[in-house]
Structure 1
Amino acid sequence: MLAGLGGWLPPRIVDNDELSRHLDTSDEWIRTRTGIGQRHVVDPGMSTVDMAVEAGRRALHSAGSRDVDALVLATATPDQICPASAPQVASRLGLGNIAAFDVNAVCSGFVYALATAAGLISAGAACSVLMVGADAFTTLLNPKDRGTVPIFGDGAGAVVLRAGEPDELGAMGPFDLHSDGDLAELLIVPAGGAKQKTSDNPEDHYFSMQGPAVFRHATARMAESSRTVMERAGWTVSDVDRFIGHQANIRILHATAKQLGLPADSLVVNIERTGNTSAASIPLAMVDAVNDGTLQAGDRVLVSAFGAGLTWGATALRWPDITPG
């Protein structure tokens, strides 16, 4: 069950007007197409691990205990290709020699890592797990690409899961997870991995996205996965109090809600202030929604995400009485 919650954003804020000074864009263009007004960006020298440590510390404080048996880090921007970044996060948090590993499902990473953490607990391999979603995604972007630079920001969000009873507030699940590797080219950084370590074309080292196709797949897949989770949970659309989707684009969120038949006021949205923070977006939205009173204990919450891979998934929970750290 969900027992702790925390988030952290880099202090540097880049608003749309600042981007407009070096990109062929404008505040109106960005807001109309994405719903984003600003994003937080890492300064040189700040890393994914740095952000994950800050968010993790807050989630542990929220949980009221530092006693965790494992740490799962959802990220597509590890500090190094090898080793994984999660052990460094655990070490800096002073958690001892616990199990720690990365999960890379990009913008679906939080949902995938939640399922992984819940599975560790269900299998008896852990009684409590710190799960962090953190990405310095702006480090993957071509600074001249107006199709991606306005969309993404950096940040970290974290939760603590602990063993509990299925009828407790905060109990996680059911989960629904999927992928389609045939469409990997829709969102990709071509170079840097084992297949193509380097490239003479600088563009190959930057993230690229086929926006219209991603929009279609994101809305269809998030809605499909959400329906599956509602059916498994025994919920109807009218049972859902809040829908927390990956904060990729305000139009994707509204289109997904419309496909599901959910009212617009059920959406939890903070993208205007954060941009798309990849694996951090859902927990950061949770933090804001608790702090502003949008999320209340007992609310039936539907969570869904879509990302590169392609990957997508959903889960559901009754919201616990929790205060972010």
Structure 2
Amino acid sequence: MIKAKIASITSQLPARKFKNTDPIFGNLPEMSQRWWRFWGIDERGYFSPDLGEDELHVSLTVVERLLKANNLKPADVDLIICAASCPVLTNIGSVKGTNQPRLYPRLSRVLREEAGLINATHFDIQMECASFLLGQKLAASYIEQGKVRNAVVLCCEYISNMMDYTDRSSTIFSDGCAAALLTASTDEGELLASAQHSNATHYSIATGKWRAPSGDSESHRTKLYFSLDEDGQKQMQEFVPQNVPIAVHRALKKAGLQSSDIGEFVFHQPSPLLVHAWATGVDCPEEKYLTTMDKAGVMVSASIPYTLHQSLKQGRIQKGDAIVMAGAATGWGFAAQVWRIGDLVIC
């Protein structure tokens, strides 16, 4: 039986960082310390077009680095799966001969053309913050069925395009990109188990809406903005902490493992309080998980792979370790995967 492994991983953050006191947040309503404590973010990055940063250019940089580090040519990539929460692309390259923002084509098509991935099947997925896990599961399935050899799962978030800087929810999110190369396993690396479930009862808590800015009651100017209900923070605390552990326990049971068998837990990074609740719910001690949202913000689909990249760079994960990746996604979906880590190129 062919097995799929994570062969390589990389990430890229914006060059510019914005602290909580930055003038960009100068039009926010009065902010309580409770808000800042819950989200636990001190600074976050936004892509800067004047520095050559947008979803396409950053994705190209990440793919090129991934290929170079693994001695691959663009033609060696058989599959590319992309995720980007903002549905409007600001840069579609030379695909349509114009550079105006568009809903279509999606990122995978543009990236395939611009990166010269001439042999790659391509498609985009959307499971918000859990998109990386969905992409890995799909890529692993293609590899295990012998349909592809090298698959790239890439998450690039230019979420600042959806930020309303008169609304306090704008302080949560950040831009960023991360990608993994999955290949057929030649060592002990493999996907051991996965689990996911969903519950749309609370779908309206956090959505993308066409509306005017929150602080502009007299204007009819509308744009696609991320929108968090006024009591969204409180509602999330009522159901999100319980649902991620459910997915983790199901994945562990499928893998025939217990929490004590796991070397590192890699959680999505929405809030230190939520991550702590997830860890507590699966008997994960503090030394077995990393938090990154304080310096990186919430990078939506790029959050899990970025945190995995950081854990690997810091030597928290070793060859042969079993790890868990898990998180929640607005909508709401909950997912978890158990991987055995083999030889892996960090770049």
Using structure 1 for the length normalisation, give the TM-score: 0.89
- Between the aligned partners of 1:30 and 1:214, the Cα distance in structure 2 is 13
The residue that corresponds to 2:204 in the other structure is 185
Contact 2:25–2:165 (Cα < 8 Å) also in 1? no
Unaligned runs of 5+ in 2: 90-101, 212-218
Contact 1:7–1:54 (Cα < 8 Å) also in 2? no
Q: Is structure 2 residue 317 aligned with structure 1 residue 302?
A: no
The residue that corresponds to 1:158 in the other structure is 179
Q: C-alpha offsets along residues 299-325 of structure 1, whole Å, 9 cap, x if unaligned?
A: 221100211221221101122332322
Contact 1:130–1:159 (Cα < 8 Å) also in 2? yes
- Pick which of 182-191 and 33-42 moved more: 182-191
Structure number with bigger Rg: 2
Amino acid at match of 1:64: N
The residue that corresponds to 1:196 in the other structure is none
- Between the aligned partners of 2:324 and 2:30, the Cα distance in structure 1 is 34
Could you say if the C-alpha distance between residues 302 and 25 of structure 1 is closer, same or farther in structure 2, counting changes exceeding 3 Å? farther
SS state of the match for residue 73, structure 1? strand
- Between the aligned partners of 2:34 and 2:113, the Cα distance in structure 1 is 43
Contact 1:77–1:136 (Cα < 8 Å) also in 2? yes
Deviation, 1:202, is: 5.2
Residue 66 (structure 2) aligned to one of 59, 65, 68: 59
- Pick which of 5-14 and 176-185 moved more: 176-185
Contact 2:9–2:346 (Cα < 8 Å) also in 1? yes
Aligned runs of 1:251-270 on 2, under 5 Å?
A: 251-270=273-292
Aligned runs of 1:1-325 on 2, under 5 Å?
A: 1-18=5-22, 21-24=26-29, 31-44=36-49, 46-66=53-73, 67-78=76-87, 79=89, 80-146=102-168, 148-164=169-185, 168-191=187-210, 205-209=224-228, 210-325=232-347
Give the CA RMSD over aligned residues.
Answer: 2.3
SS state of the match for residue 188, structure 2? coil
Contact 1:5–1:62 (Cα < 8 Å) also in 2? no
- Between the aligned partners of 2:42 and 2:342, the Cα distance in structure 1 is 30
Deviation, 1:279, is: 0.7
Q: C-alpha offsets along residues 182-204 of structure 1, whole Å, 9 cap, x if unaligned?
A: 43212211339xxxxxxx96577
% identical aligned pairs: 22
Q: C-alpha offsets along residues 29-70 of structure 1, whole Å, 9 cap, x if unaligned?
A: 565222211111012474322222222222223333232201
Contact 1:73–1:131 (Cα < 8 Å) also in 2? yes
- Between the aligned partners of 2:30 and 2:285, the Cα distance in structure 1 is 31
SS state of the match for residue 7, structure 1? strand
